[in-house]
Structure 1
Amino acid sequence: MQEARVVKTTCPYCGVGCGVLATQMEDGSVEVKGDPDHPSNFGKLCSKGAALGETLGLETRLLFPQIRGKRASWDDALSLVADRFSSAIRQYGPDSVAFYVSGQILTEDYYVANKLMKGFLGSANIDTNSRLCMASSVAGHKRAFGADTVPCSYEDLEDADLLVLVGSNLAWCHPVLQRRIEDARKSRPHMKVVVIDPRETASSDGADLHLAIAPDGDVALFSGLLAYLSKAGVVNHEYVRDHTAGFVEALNEAQRWEEASLVEATGLSAGQLHQFYDLFARTSKTVTLYSQGVNQSVSGTDKVNAILNCHLATGRIGQNGMGPFSITGQPNAMGGREVGGLANTLAAHMELDNTEHRSLVKQFWKAPALAPKQGMKAVELFDAVASGRIKALWIMGTNPADSLPNAGKVEAALASCPFVVVSEVVKQTDTSRHAHVLLPSAAWGEKSGTVTNSERRISRQRPFLPMPGEAKPDYWQFAQVARRMGFRQAFDYGGPDAVFREHATLSSFANAGARDFDIGAYADITAEAYAELSPFQWPAPSEGNVNPRHFFAEGGFYHADKKARFIPLKRKDHLPARKSGQTKYASTVRLNTGRIRDQWHTMSRTGLSARLSAHSAEPFLEISPQDAEDAGLQQADIAQVTSPHGSVLLRVVVTSRQKTGAVFAPLHWTDQFATNARIDRLVTADLDPFSGQPAYKHTDVSISPFNAVVYGFAVTRNKPSLKGLDYAAAVRCDGGWRMDFAHGSYLDQSALLKHLRAPQKNSGHWSEYRQSGDAYRAACFDEDGLVVACLTSAKPVSLSRSHLVSLLAKEEWSQQDRLSVLAGFPSATQPSKGAIVCACMNVGVNEIGKAIAEGAHCVDSVAEITMAGTNCGSCRTEIERMLHGQFQQAAQ
């Protein structure tokens, strides 16, 4: 028997950049494990990474090119793209075309796209969904450091004596880093963690101090900290003198914040402020780790610089356990930044506004028409599509109809655009339905290239599966169109290794230490060496000794004078915003959006895994008890959430972990998995003035009850049809699909069963039960088991969802099993997992509760009995809350 081949690759999810071992088994399945040799994760994986093998099926894949919905050849599709882009440029100029790409494509893909648009089409209208995640960090880094340089490494998180998490639910969004930190705290008990977040989260549960800051209070908080550091005498005046400029001006602005105004702006007490400020002041080994809660704001860039100001003032940068650390959300947000994937940058961390940089890139590329100015950033770009200024648009690896703010306007813009190209992995998305040309892209496990994680570590993504159907790599698609547009010589790449060589060579071209990004050591890499490339951190210049772990311990910033810049942040620009208010049954609150533990972006990959959908199966609204009462809402109701741009329906989760005046909803649900749940339809396109990044965390919305006539839950072997239901959410489960639904008018039984794609009444073995009103229960069996079961009521349905889900995949049936279907609950002799808490090990709340009842007294003892929390650990805080009687499941 031939030994299974193990391929070292990199996870396609968050910016941690975990190494993965993928093994294709004899039956065609793929086993995925963490790579113990990869320096980012040392073998650990989160729930999403561990389930990667379950997301590789082809049933949702786009397998061949399409022109206007009909199958086409690659030659015809690419020739049409080249012709339409060329004709638009001839008739309307280069700024009439645009690319919109993604932090999920590979660096080689990004490089070719950027080169084509900026160097050969003559426009900088190429932007990326990383604009939505990390653009404020880029802008803040460039203002302070002179370059988009992340000065830290993951080891600093373990070496720090104080870790400050700002706007980051690390335990759910970057669980492997959270585990590294937890392990470090066990060996270094004096290490402290402070979490700054308006919400109580899995990350704040394990913190020494949680500061439930008011939305957008971060600039005030860190300005107050800067003034406190000066007063406490911990400013590193030697570092400030030798390596920075503008300290006095920044400090003067910070000192304008009186204690009372800090309390008002931050929503924190004076005692909390002093506790945090004192801890920061007396702990030299401090890392401030920040993410979307900082970046996704109209003051995101200023928030970044407020943090950087404090680290520059103390000289806590570039040394072990010290520094400001931006953690990225996507697997290759950093790689995109390195090749100029943003509309305002050039490749190799060079700048479009820098004449010398533009000359270097033009010379290196032999570019005939290098873009003369910055292009349009993401929101502005789609505004231009809406107004008709963009005549041809190519979207690759992202879903802007769901992910951009005011998403309804974006979708309308796509529908009106004269020519839209979409390169995608899946057949159906809310964006691809507006494509004139659909191009099938290679997916994770099929494509070859590199990605860069949050600590500047470049790793290989390697193929272990053949490209299915007619799918092709993304870089190849761009290169083929470039050749058809007359640029054959510049885009004659033999493979991704050739693109990487060119990228590495450009990084060192006329560099000699003048720019931060330099991987010239790999400029002559062979195809064989590229295939075997081990993870490495940049900089990696061809000559000279560097410490790739840190930047700036001894200055060496990238402004002309080699000094960092303190940024004065004016108090008047960061006063508290207006407060929300409530009226009877029409509550106005602030909407905060974000990720949940087991899903990724718009679920096109994670939605293929049944176990990843078991933890949170519905789009939900977390709301405080007071706001729920004001809005006339109760637990498990359906809420109608409305902004000036649209309205959505979400399941209500009433929880004291949410602050009054604010609500939270996840970003993941699309029309493929729910009706009326695309949360970014509500988000106002308010932008940071420096970065162009939207403020996803701060939209005023009104909330009221949705008065449903019927509520229901169903399990079905076939994918249900959601269209026409007011509220419906359907996700995969073992054996088929599960669906929660509600509707504002009566649903007759035939219409309901049609939605569930149920067999005809004369097929299979049917059992039905009717009560008064809209209570209806039905189940159909065939020789293989349960085909469909549906339970409805005039109120939210009370039943054991996990029990019905388990029955859908059941192979051997007893009479008791059949009776329990219509009952909706297991009998006393039937074990039920309950709602899934640990997705990695498929452990439910009932199993954990049983372990606690039988004497498990801590998380580790629960883990020993049930295995829950033994993989990625992102469920450990939930187990801890169960031990203390505080657990609440968002959706069951």
Structure 2
Amino acid sequence: MRSDANLPGPGVPDGSIRTTCPYCGVGCGVLATPDGRGGAAIAGDPAHPANLGRLCSKGSALAETLGLGSRVLHPLRRNDAGGYDRVSWDVALDEVTDGLKTIIERDGPDAVAFYLSGQLLTEDYYVANKLMKGFIGSAHVDTNSRLCMSSTVAGHKRVLGSDTVPGNYEDLDSADLIVLVGSNTAWCHPVLFRRMQQNRAQRGARIVVIDPRVTATAEDADMMLAIKPGSDSVLFAGLLVHLDANGLTDATYLARHVSGYDEALANARELAPTVASVAERTGLTPVAITSFYELWGATPAVVTAWSQGVNQSAQGTDKVAAILHCHLATGRIGRPGGGPFSLTGQPNAMGGREVGGLANMLAAHMGYSPAEIDRLSRFWQAPNMARHEGLKAVAMLDAVAQQRIKALWVMATNPAVSLPRADQVKAALGSLDLFVVSENVLSNDTLSAKPHFILPAAAWGEKNGTVTNSERRISRQRAFLDLPAEVKPDWWIVCEVAKRLGFVEAFTYGGPDEIYAEHAALSAFENAGTRDFDIGAHAGLPKRAYDALKPVQWPAPAGQPLGTPRLFAQGGFFTGDGRARMVPLAVPALASATSEALPLLLNTGRVRDHWHTMTRTGLSPRLSAHASEPCVHVHPTDAARFGLIEGGFARIANAFGAVVLKVGFDAGVPPGSLFAPIHWSAETASHARIGAAVQPACDPFSGQPEMKATPSSIAPVAYASQGFVLSRDGFALPEGSWWSKLAVEGSEGRLFATDATSAELMESIRAAFGEDGLTEMIDSEGGVYRCAVIRDGALIAALFIAPAGRAPLWDTVKLAFADAGAMPENRLALLAGRSLDGAADPGPTVCACFGVGLNAIRAAFAGGAATPEDIGRQLRAGTNCGSCLPEIRRIGAQSRSPVAA
């Protein structure tokens, strides 16, 4: 498993393996040191250029997600009773192959589809695309990256001629102005945000945030533009007009390297003729707009970075184009400290783009022109090349619902949670003639749709291959754990099916190194500088060199193995004439229309410490401590308008579905909007699968769904009681209860609300655990019930319930529950919720990296700490990824306020 490249350097633990983090597109390097018992110590790799040793809270907690308790370890086949039988790999693969053959022969190759994921390694992605698009002959291969960055792909290709990020992370260190558009970078890309803040502190860089919502990122910015949803392209069209009117464009760069400027400028003048018109469309003040335009125009070293607020939009491609236009017009592209920058959502979304993971792309950044189809067919010696673009994610699942697609193979993703209209998606999955899922978890919402086969795939620590991050940097993902039981890599599973379909010669690989070498050779095949993606320097790379591969930015053509840091400063765009193409933009519909029945726009997104549908982060007690319940964030004026109570519950509904969430007041959410997290599923909460309430409207160019502005209604929901339950064996709450499940030290916990009576809950507890070791505290008049089950010196279960609005806190009880060997001798103190050892209650977690609680931070401020830096020195909070620093600043401000005093 080790190679010379993994030999530890100075300060690196002996026995460590260099690998990469499986979360966001930052692509952080990780040092994993196996403990010989199936676990590992995790640290940031100081030698990796993406993170220089830093990890965010999620990366820091990776060791807590390595257990096998929730893993699928053997091939499973659905039986007639709806359960699953364990079968051999040969049986599973033979029957999957037979099912595919039957459907292809009966209905044609377009009746078959693959739905892939940015969690796959490049080698996995490559063989899946090769099999489907080159040998089965269907283009219906798409990926969950369609939901996160496909508008950037479309925008890049329309304007730059290729899907190329021009710059790199070092630009964030040397920029004088960083503009973050639709990106809560402090929470979603915290390692990069820490670099930006370091630049700000050391060099005086300015940070501007453009977002409808005042996020943690905005709290640490120099300027916040709270823009109306969907109006980003108007703001940047106005910037283009401003740049031209004030002589701030680069006439030489435009003349040599750009076409379409006059047409794009005329279009921008129609969209945004004056600052006043921009103000009307965006909801910003003329003063704020002018200040932003003047700052952008006067700062040569400017990076404009964007993420899901731009991409997940029905106007996403135009938003990207509008940003690119401003950089092209000023020649601010591909230069140190300046350029447009897409912050990718998933660890290998870009790797998937490289191999044709999107339905409208072929491998090696090729498209579906006759010449490209012919080139790929000859390289692969492919007998059945797909001849047209396939169905994109939302349309693909529509085709499943309409039974035009009969067979679907889902790999490493959870579409029954993440896709819009998630309820309909789940129902559609159940109608397939052949439904195959390659997974590493035994249970999720997609698996609850009952696939015919569940194939056990390698998890993060067992994977071996490559990934590409947001700055085009290819890094080695190295396995540091052995494959458990019958688990196999995704590439192996795909290749075994391919061989059974009759394509033995094309899919016989000795390992991922051979797949990567072929992938690299294809990138250089008949290229000669005409395509951006070229890693020809790695073509034919032997296994030893592959194992030792250091992080490198593509393009890395033959003779240039160290790669390319930046592109396009001197033009050289990958178009027929080498020029970028500025394009007219559509007049944007600023947001989906609200109505009297649906008066609010539902915006969805991430919380700080969780990832996608929590199949990994949900295993970590530390990551579950900061945001323990799915909440809808509402502006206080809207809360009053709709009769909502902070800490109460609300039902968000529209034509597509409904959810019930806890209510949180948030003045950073604009009036008329709601914000809800994407992470909770039917596995982790009773009523919080937000994808069920997201519209299916898509960008016309990219096919990316609008996940930021679904017209919705909101209404209060009342429950009689609220409480929590902790149990080492799980505990079923009464039917109709609202609950949120999360990992706690010792097993699992649920926060809940219910209309069940205390008597009913008492009966449930006694039925589940008996009366042996049961201690109860009952206040029948006050409606309070608390109990603990203590057996053999350990706390087995605890349940606290009180009337709604008086929900008991569980922080001290969780501490007692965490130590399975500790005897809670003072049962009355336990039931009273007091600390059993006299230690101060740390309070709700603020810093997940180091487990620092609210009360500890308040006490430090009360004791004389004046700044977040003081808190870091005393408690370490905020000194790792820094994503909790905005919250620490708020706590400090509250401690100094007259009310707090």
TM-score by length of 1: 0.96
Does structure 2 conserve the Cα–Cα contact (< 8 Å) formed by 1:800 and 1:825? no
- Aligned residue number for residue 28 of structure 2: 18
Q: Quickly say closer, same or farther: Cα 1:524–1:209, change in 2 above 3 A.
A: same
Verify: 1:246 aligned to 2:255, yes or no: no
Counterpart check, 1:145 vs 2:148 = no
Q: Deviation per CA, 1:444-493, whole angstroms, max 9, x where unpaired?
A: 11111000000000001111111111000001111000000000000011
1:591-626 CA distances to partner (integer Å, 9 max, x unpaired)?
110111110101111111110100011111110101
1:29 maps onto 2:27 in alignment? no
Give, as a single letter, the amino acid of the residue that structure 1 aligns with 2:579: K
1:775 positional shift: 2.7
Count of equivalent residues: 877
Distance 1:151 1:293 in 2: 20
1:803 alignment counterpart: 812
Task: Decide which of 473, 477, 480 is 2:489's aligned counterpart.
Answer: 473
Residue from 781, 785, 788 that aligns with 2:794 = 785
In 1, Cα distance between the equivalents of 2:557 and 2:295? Answer: 39
1:301 match: 317
In structure 2, C-alpha distance between the alignment counterparts of 1:545 and 1:652, rounded to whole Å: 53
String of CA shifts for 1:418-457, please: whole Å, max 9, x gaps.
1100000000011112210110001111111000000000
The separation in 2 between residues aligned to 1:63 and 1:216, in whole angstroms, is 45
SS in 2 for 1:693: coil
State the alpha-carbon separation in 1 of the partners of residues 110 and 630 from structure 2: 39
| 8 Å Cα contact 1:196/1:212 also seen in 2 | yes
Paired AA for residue 637 in structure 1? G
Amino acid at match of 1:460: R
CA distance, structure 1, for counterparts of residue 141 and residue 92 of structure 2 = 21
Q: Which amino acid aligns with 2:60?
A: A
Does the CA-based 8 Å contact 1:878-1:887 persist in structure 2? no
The answer as to whether partners of 1:720 and 1:730 remain within 8 angstroms in 2 is no
SS of the equivalent of 2:158 reads helix
Secondary structure of the corresponding residue to residue 461 of structure 2: coil
- CA 1:722/1:473 → structure 2, altered by over 3 Å: closer, same or farther? farther
Q: CA deviation digits over 1:643-679, x for unaligned, max 9?
A: 1111111111112122111111100001111101100
Contact 1:392 1:417 in 2 (8 A): yes
- Displacement of 1:27 after TM fit? 5.0
Aligned pairs for 1:683-762 (under 5 A) are: 683-721=694-732, 724-743=735-754, 745-747=755-757, 749-751=759-761, 754=764, 758-761=768-771
Q: Which amino acid aligns with 2:115?
A: Y
Query: Secondary structure of 1:864's partner?
Result: helix
Partner of residue 335 from structure 1, selected from 343, 351, 354: 351
- Structure 2 Cα separation of the partners of residues 211 and 705 of structure 1: 31
Aligned to 1:438: 454
- From 281, 284, 289, the counterpart of 1:268: 284
What does the per-residue CA deviation read over 1:550-572, in whole Å, with 9 as the maximum and x for residues that have no partner?
A: 111111111111110111114xx
User: 1:356: how far off?
Assistant: 1.4
* CA distance in structure 1 between the partners assigned to 2:895 and 2:232 by the alignment: 29
1:561-600 alignment runs, 5 A limit = 561-570=577-586, 573-577=587-591, 580=594, 588-600=599-611
Deviations 1:84-112 (A, max 9, x none): 11111111111000000000000000000
Letter aligned with residue 710 of structure 1: S
1:821 aligns with 2:837: no
1:350 matched residue in structure 2: 366
Are the counterparts in 1 of residues 38 and 481 from structure 2 also a CA contact under 8 Å?
no
CA–CA distance in 2 between the matches of 1:756 and 1:381? 49
Q: Distance in 1 between matches of 2:560 and 2:453?
A: 48
Gap change, CA 1:447 and 1:578, over 3 Å in 2: closer
From 50, 56, 59, the counterpart of 1:40: 50
Distance (Å, rounded) in 2 between the aligned partners of 1:729 and 1:755: 18
Shift of 1:575: 4.8
Residues 183, 758 of structure 1: alpha-carbon distance in 2 compared, 3 angstrom cutoff: farther
1:278-293 equivalences under 5 Å are 278-293=294-309
AA aligned to 2:122 is T
**Cα deviation, residue 145, structure 1:** 1.0
- Secondary structure of 2:599's counterpart equals strand
2:654 to 636, 643, 655: 643
Structure 2 residue 216 is the aligned partner of structure 1 residue 206:
no
Residue 672 in structure 1 maps to residue 683 in structure 2:
yes
CA contact (8 A) 2:758 2:785 kept: no
Distance 2:759 2:740 in 1: 19
Indicate yes or no: 2:857 matched with 1:848: yes
Distance 2:130 2:43 in 1: 36
Shift of 1:723: 7.7
Which residue among 115, 120, 127 is the counterpart of 2:135? Answer: 120
For 1:37 and 1:758, the matched residues in 2 are separated by 52
Structure 1 window deviating more from structure 2 (287-296 vs 560-569): it is 560-569
Residue 335 of structure 1 deviates from its aligned partner by 0.1
Deviations along 1:703-759, whole A, 9 cap, x unmatched? Answer: 10112122222222233336834310010111222211112x334545566489841
User: CA contact under 8 A between 1:721 and 1:755: conserved in structure 2?
Assistant: no
Partner residue in 2 for 1:503: 519
Q: Does 1:534 align with 2:578?
A: no
The verdict on how the C-alpha distance between 1:464 and 1:757 changes in structure 2, with shifts beyond 3 A counting, is farther
The answer to whether structure 1 residue 195 and structure 2 residue 204 are counterparts is: no
- CA distance in 2 between counterparts of 1:753 and 1:502 reads 63
Whether 2:16 is the aligned partner of 1:6: answer yes
Asked if structure 2 preserves the Cα contact closer than 8 Å seen for 1:10 and 1:20, the reply is yes
Which structure 2 segments of 5+ residues have no match?
1-7, 79-83
> 8 Å contact 1:120–1:369 — kept in the other structure?
yes
Does residue 58 of structure 1 match 2:74? no
Instruction: Give the gaps of 5 or more residues in structure 1.
Output: none
User: Residue 758 of structure 1 contacts residue 787 of structure 1 at CA under 8 Å; is this kept in 2?
Assistant: no
Mapped partners of 1:507, 1:830: distance in 2: 61
Is the Cα contact below 8 Å between 2:38 and 2:67 reproduced in 1?
Answer: no
Give 1:494's match in structure 2, choosing from 477, 496, 510. 510
| Alpha-carbon offset, residue 588 of structure 1 | 2.7
Contact 2:552 2:563 in 1 (8 A): no
- Matched letter for residue 556 of structure 2: A
% identity of equivalent residues: 50
Q: Is 2:574 the partner of 1:558?
A: yes
Separation of aligned partners in 2, 1:89 and 1:579: 42
How far 1:783 moved relative to its partner? 2.7
Measured on the aligned residues, the alpha-carbon RMSD in Å equals 2.0
Asked if 1:321 is matched to 2:337, the reply is yes
Give the distance between the partners of 2:731 and 2:680, measured in 1 at CA: 16
- Tell me: CA distance 1:500–1:757, structure 2 relative to 1, closer, same or farther (3 Å): farther
Q: Provide Cα deviations, 1:214-234, integer angstroms capped at 9, x if missing partner.
A: 101101110111101111110
Distance 2:651 2:720 in 1: 15
Q: How far 1:266 sits from its partner (Å)?
A: 0.8
Amino acid at match of 2:519: H
Letter in 2 for 1:211: L
2:146 aligned residue: 131
Alignment partners' CA distance in 2, 1:269 and 1:575: 20
- Corresponding position of 1:658: 669
SS in 2 for 1:263: helix
Distance across 2 between alignment mates of 1:98 and 1:119:
13
SS of equivalent residue, structure 2 residue 866: coil
Equivalent position of 1:776 in the other structure: 785
Instruction: Confirm or deny: 8 A CA contact 1:396 1:422 kept in the other structure.
Output: yes
Provide the secondary structure at the position in 1 that maps to 2:319: helix
- The answer on whether the counterparts of 1:196 and 1:211 sit within 8 Å (CA) in structure 2 is yes
Helix, strand or coil at the partner of 2:550: coil
Deviation at 1:29, TM superposition (A): 3.0
- Provide the C-alpha distance between the structure 2 equivalents of 1:375 and 1:577, rounded to a whole number of angstroms: 28
